[in-house]
Amino acid sequence: MSEPALYLAFPDGVLHYVCVECDARCCRGHGMGGNMNHELRPLLTKYPALGALALQRRGSLLDLATPAGGCLFLQGDNWCRIEVQQGKAAKPAVCNLFPFNAFTRIGNTMAVAPHFLCPLRVQVPAPPGQVEGSHARVAAAVRSSRLLDEFQLQAGAALEPSEDADSVVARETHFRDLCGAAIGREPFAAAVGRAFVAPARQEQLQRALALLLLAPRESETPDALDAIFFAIAPSLRLKLLHLKSDAILVTLLLAEQSVRRLAELAAAPLVPQAVYHLIDSLLPALRLLALGDEPMGLPQSAVKEASQMGEAPLVFAQFKILRGAEEGRPILLNLEENLHRVPELVDRTALLMEIGRRVDQARMKPGRRRRTAKS
């Protein structure tokens, strides 16, 4: 079987990690795995009991479990016993490749994203070739890992119906390179805002920000958060490929403004993994708002399945929004007509997340997943 093309979903040379600074987070309950025809067979021969940890096999690829407190090979000094005794090359491929082992198949291309369990740093200016997140280094490691053998067994990403895989990869590559060129030079919102195709989307962005009770940040000077957004945005977009191109941009800009509000709460400056996970947790609400004038696409039974949200104004607003969804009302208009009943940020967020999860469920076709353990 031929190898897939690679799309590295992060700008070249902006991400770096140093294992000795970490407490082996990747070795604590997130699994491991590799290729039975490569490094796993000798390990299973040397440690036959390892086979009892098998979770899933697809072709030559095997996922194995690790206990939450620490992999059975993890020593008290946070070194891997396999590496200590047999060298790094003997370790399971998923471990050797970490954190660059979050795979998403887009047609015949494999997108490779970093795993934000790792305390990655952002390097500005980027020194490609000198840091772990250098494209040439990651591409070589992915190829030699043999984790892409039989890549066609992996379910493909759910794409927006009017897009084909090749044009999506070309678009994502262009966006990633835009991030690489702009990092450290301009604010994220300015660079991403320029990428809009339809001016009407700018207006929808302002309406969505108002629904989130957010005022857009106006700044011409990039800061540390801008650098983080540029570094992680190409990876985040892999969770948004079922949306239209402009809706992906709106989601990112809403995410940026939402994180900036949360950063005011933070006792210390936000780091990339905090930003990534905050955005990831907010995605149902952000994706919902980014759909703009589309209908929600919920089934006719939506109102009957309304959840118990507590106080009467909240329950009533949910009922009216779901009723509007059943009638096919445009999303932003439907929300604008009903969210005035829910003035508090906490209630709005809970309601938007609830409805966003339902809309995600209805719109995202099954089949998209990231392979490998540690994900």
**Applying CB under 6 A, which of residues 17, 73, 151, 276 lies at the interface with ligand SF4?**
73
- The amino acid occupying position 363 is R
For the packed helices 272-290 and 199-211, what is the interaxial angle rounded to 10 degrees?
A: 110
Rama region for 310: left / alpha / beta (φ>0; ψ in -120 to 50; rest):
left
Stretch that binds ligand SF4, among 72-80, 116-124, 226-234, 251-259 (CB under 6 A): 72-80
- Based on CB atoms, which residue is closest to ligand SF4, 80 or 279? 80
Nearest to ligand SF4 of 50, 322 (CB atom): 50
Print the binding letters for residues 32-51 with ligand SF4: x by CB under 6 A, - otherwise. Answer: x-------------------
Q: Which residue lies nearer to ligand SF4 by CB, 39 or 226?
A: 39
| Residues of this chain, 91-110, that bind ligand SF4 according to CB under 6 A | 91-92, 95
Tell me the window of 14-22, 70-78, 209-217, 292-300 that interacts with ligand SF4 (CB under 6 A): 70-78
Task: Annotate 326-373 with DSSP letters as a single string.
Answer: HTT-BHHHHHHHHGGG--SHHHHHHHHHHHHHHHHHHHS-TT---BSS
Listed residue (265, 212, 255) closest to 230, CA to CA: 255
Phi, psi of 29 (to 5 degrees): 85, 10
Q: Which residue's CB is nearer to ligand SF4, number 74 or number 192?
A: 74
Q: Angle at which helices 345-363 and 272-290 pack, to 10 degrees?
A: 70
Give me the torsion for CA of 173, 203, 254, 342, rounded to 10°.
-150
Total interface residues for ligand SF4 by CB under 6 A: 11
Q: Any contact of residue 118 with ligand SF4 (CB under 6 A)?
A: no
Closer of 50 and 192 to ligand SF4 (Cβ): 50
**Contact present, 353 and 284 (Cβ < 8 Å):** yes
Helix (H) or strand (E) holding 280: helix 272-290
> Least Å distance between CB 3 and ligand SF4?
24
Q: According to CB under 6 A, which one of 40, 50, 65, 71 is a site residue for ligand SF4?
A: 71
The footprint of ligand SF4 (CB under 6 A) covers: 27, 32, 66, 71, 73-74, 80, 82, 91-92, 95
